[in-house]
Copies of this chain bind each other. A is one copy, B any other.
Amino acid sequence: MTKQERAVRTRYQLIAAAADVFNRNGFVRTNLAAVSRRANVSTGALYFHFERKEELAAAVVNQAVGSIRSAVQRVHHSPACALQRLVDATHAIAALLRTDSVVKAGVLLNQEGYGPRPDLRLEWHTHIQRLLAEAEREDMLAPDVSQQSAASAITASTVGFEVLGRDDLQWLSRHALTSFWGFHLPALAAGPALGRLDAAGTDIGSAHR
């Protein structure tokens, strides 16, 4: 392994360890010594990569943002219609929040002000608005739906699922999201479109087929 490969690996270990410690203790109560112990990396090596805790938090957020954007992009390039891609994207993000501790820590840290601004939730809101506009062009939206109201309601709900899921993973289960879309889709989708949509997600573009 070259020196550069080792540095990349160490950096990755530090980010993964930091996510675990942030998830357990929160940002303020996390100290860098605990992260270096957990990563099994010397404090010297840690300080080589991250001089301050804020930099480590930003790195966790950036990796989380990267994972979420990749998952959403995979779904976005699937051949499904816009509404199905919206459903699939929520399932993909929930799967990441359930299984990837960097994503879990990164989303919380981002809400607390670390990493890219404006935060992920705004980006998600914009993505939902675009998918609903695309669904409208595909003639998939129920005629009386306000795209603005629907986008806000779906943004708020999904933020709520993430927040509730921090204390109780049930909220992020495939069952919970399927039930959510089972309730929402009949209001959102035009009658003929409804039968073609799968509230449980199509798994197209999923990293966990």
**A98 CB → nearest B CB, Å:** 16
Given contacts A29-B28, A186-B144, contact A171 B156 (CB under 8 A): yes
- Inter-chain CA distance A38–B108, complex, in Å, is 30
Residues in chain B near residue A121, CB distance under 8 A: 164
Contact of B153 with A164 in the complex, beta carbons under 8 Å? no
Which listed residue (B145, B159, B160, B179) contacts A149, Cβ 8 A? B179
Residues in chain B near residue A156, CB distance under 8 A: 156-158, 160-161, 164, 171, 180
Contact of A183 with B28 in the complex, beta carbons under 8 Å? no
Given contacts A146-B179, A187-B184, contact A153 B157 (CB under 8 A): yes
Check A182 for interface membership: any CB of B closer than 8 A.
yes
Contact of B26 with A183 in the complex, beta carbons under 8 Å? no
**A198 CB → nearest B CB, Å:** 16
Render A129-159 as a binary contact track against B, CB cut-off 8 A, 1 for contact: 0000000000000001110111011011111
**A133 CB → nearest B CB, Å:** 16
Check A33 for interface membership: any CB of B closer than 8 A.
no
Interface residues, chain A, with chain B CB atoms under 8 Å away = 26, 28-29, 111, 121, 144-146, 148-150, 152-153, 155-161, 163-164, 171, 176, 179-180, 182-184, 186-187
**A72 CB → nearest B CB, Å:** 18
Residues in chain B near residue A150, CB distance under 8 A: 183
**A164 CB → nearest B CB, Å:** 6
**A124 CB → nearest B CB, Å:** 11
Residues in chain B near residue A182, CB distance under 8 A: 146, 149
Given contacts A179-B146, A183-B145, contact A159 B163 (CB under 8 A): yes
Residues in chain B near residue A184, CB distance under 8 A: 153, 187
Contact of B171 with A164 in the complex, beta carbons under 8 Å? no
Which listed residue (B29, B159, B180) contacts A164, Cβ 8 A? B159
Contact of B163 with A180 in the complex, beta carbons under 8 Å? no
**A166 CB → nearest B CB, Å:** 9
